[in-house]
Structure formats: C-alpha cells, structure tokens
Amino acid sequence: MHENRFKSGFVAILGAPNVGKSTLLNRLLGTKISITSKKPQTTRNRILGVLHRENAQFVFLDTPGVHRASQPLNVRIVDVALSVMADVDLILLVVDASSPDLESEKILIKALKNTQTKVVLALNKIDQIKKPALLSQMEAWHDAYPFEAVIPISAKHGTQVEVMMTAMENVLPEGPPLFPEDTLTDMPERFIAAEMIREKAFRLTGQEIPYAVAVTVDRFTEKKNGALIAIDATIHVERDSQKGILIGKKGSKLKQIGEDARKEIERMVGTKVFLKLFVRVQKNWSRDTKALRRFGY
C-alpha cells in the first residue's frame, strides 16, 4: 500500500435530537466521550473524537441536535450544529428510522442544500422497525437528496456500522493523519468530567430537570503524585424546586449522582477520584447570554 493512499478528514455527525449520534460516536471510538441520555439536547458542544483505522483517520465533530429553536440556549445550540457543516470534509447525517422527526429533517435537508460538502446518510435504530417500512424510507431519502450512500444501521447493536465506515472511508480525501495515534479527543478531561456529571443528573432525575442543568468544574487537581484527583463541581439549576429534586431526600439523589459520575470519571482518568458536588440556583440562566457564555455555550 502506498503511503500517499492514506485518507483523513473531519466528519460532522449531524441529526435531530435523540437520533443516536452520541451512541454511534461512542461505539466507533470504543469508549465513552459523548454523553447520552433519553432526553433531547444532551449534547450541547462540538465534541471531537478521533478514530484511527488502518488506512484512514476520521476526526469526528459531534454536533447538538438540530431542531426548531426559540429560546436563546436552543438557538445557540442549532447555530453550533449548522456552522460545523462548512468546515468539514464529510457530513454523516444520522436519522432515527424508527420514529422520523419530519420537522427537524426538513431543516436539515434545507441546510444540506446550502453546502457543497459530501453527505453519507445513516438510518439508525433499524432494530426497531419492520423491513417494508425501512425500504420505503430509504427510497424517500434517496429522492430527497443526492447522498453518497444511504446505510441502514443500529448504533446500539453495531449492525452495519462497518459497512457505513467503509462508505465513509471511500469519500474521505487522501492525506496524512491529522492527529497522533494515541489521540482520542481534544476535549480537556475537566470538560468531559463536567459532561459526565451532567449526564448522571439527567438520567437520575426523570422529567423534572430537562435543560435547566449546567455543570461547572471549580477545581480539578492531582494529589499524591497523581494517585488521586480531587474534583469540586457545581450543578447549576434555575429554580429552588429543581434544587430540591437534585438533592433528594436527605441528599440521597445527589449522593447517587456523585457516585455514578465518580465511577465513570475514574474509568476515564485511570486513577482514584474524590468528587464533591454542590447545587446552586441561578435564576433563568438558560435565557441569560452572560450565563450561557460562562457555562461554555
């Protein structure tokens, strides 16, 4: 194999909220970088994951779900997702074949028509759909846009993911690796730690705490020559009632969030973690542009 046949490029993973983009990225990388939960709008920032293959290197940007937005936070989320499209070599559009989100899909197709970037379509969650319905969907998507390939997959079970990767590799431009082989993400550990805490807060609190949670890491220090990492983090909410839900009876909910997040952070950093969580009410932060900036949006 000639050295110059190696391929590399930036790939934006695009799609409506909750179609399985983060699950797919985590499966491709074989490790957890992007947070996942059943609630829409879990991913708010572009998260970079680097996948090294024998003859190619994919640099993935995981974008927030595209949807019709009116609130300042949501408008910013959608802007981030769409702004990525012009800067990449390939777009991987992920849609949920089991429950199409027609409104978001319209926005996406409209956005794609304004870009010159090549697009591969992954029809996800095929484990939850019958074959005739899947075939008619594939036909409709073929008519909607000139995709490089349309691949039915299941990110959860890994079905046809390798087929999708081959189709994407075919489209990537030739070029040397963009990152060293041991690079997995460009996100600092403290950012991923904050995301892991936010995910646990999402997963363990049910419907009451939808988008009102932001997490800041106030301290991230190594102790005992790196044998222990001490993390202080604050979970910001918008109302006192949300604070009560997060803390739970005698602090039980917050304790569980802390324990689950600590285990996951320990897996990431490969060392013992001492995690202290605080909950703070900041009225209506998701509508406040100053607060949005401070929380990194």
DSSP state of 221: E
Task: Give the E-state strand segments of 168-257 in sequence order.
Answer: 214-223, 228-237
Q: Mind listing the domains of the chain with CATH numbers?
A: 3-171 (3.40.50.300), 189-294 (3.30.300.20)
The alpha helices in 41-130, defined as continuous H runs, are: 72-84, 102-112
Q: What is the pLDDT along the chain (297 residues), one digit of tens a residue?
A: 444 589 988 888 888 777 887 788 878 877 555 444 444 433 434 445 778 888 998 888 766 544 444 455 444 545 655 666 777 899 999 999 988 777 777 777 877 887 788 999 999 999 999 999 899 889 999 999 999 999 999 998 989 999 999 999 999 999 888 776 765 554 567 777 888 888 888 888 876 665 678 888 888 777 766 678 888 999 998 888 889 989 999 999 999 999 999 988 887 676 788 999 999 988 877 777 776 666 665
pTM exceeds 0.95, yes or no: no
As a whole number of angstroms, the distance between CA 159 and CA 178 comes to 28
56-62 and 47-52: which strand pairing?
antiparallel
Judge contact between 246 and 237, C-beta under 8 A. Answer: yes
CA 103 to chain centre: 21
